[in-house]
Amino acid sequence: MSAHCQLTGSKPGFGNAISHSHRRTSRRFDPNVQRKRYWLPSEGRHVRLTLSARAIKTIDVNGIEAAVARIRARGGKV
């Protein structure tokens, strides 16, 4: 699964893992991405979205219709 949120657009960040001896190796900081299924009443169907935990909380506040409109405005496919 791609570590990319459809709503917020958050992607992995990159940095270094620093050991006790202070050697640096590359690492990835992935967002907390989940696959979630929502009922979309306006279209009479379910949609499955890849969302970060923060985006799930945003949908709880603003609603799925506003979230889908925002995803489509960004050029995403739902």
pLDDT at residue 46, rounded to an integer? 97
Alpha carbon separation from 5 to 18, 20, 67, 71, 78 (Å, rounded): 27, 33, 12, 10, 13
Question: Rounded to the nearest 5°, which phi and psi values hold at 29?
Answer: -105, 100
pLDDT at residue 3, rounded to an integer? 92
pLDDT at residue 2, rounded to an integer? 81
pLDDT at residue 1, rounded to an integer? 58
pLDDT at residue 49, rounded to an integer? 97
- Token reading at 66: 């506003």
**CB 13, CB 52: distance < 8 Å:** no
Q: Give the C-alpha separation, 65 to 43, whole Å.
A: 10
pLDDT tens-digit profile, the chain (78 residues): 589 999 999 999 999 999 999 999 999 999 999 999 999 999 999 999 999 999 999 999 999 999 999 999 999 999
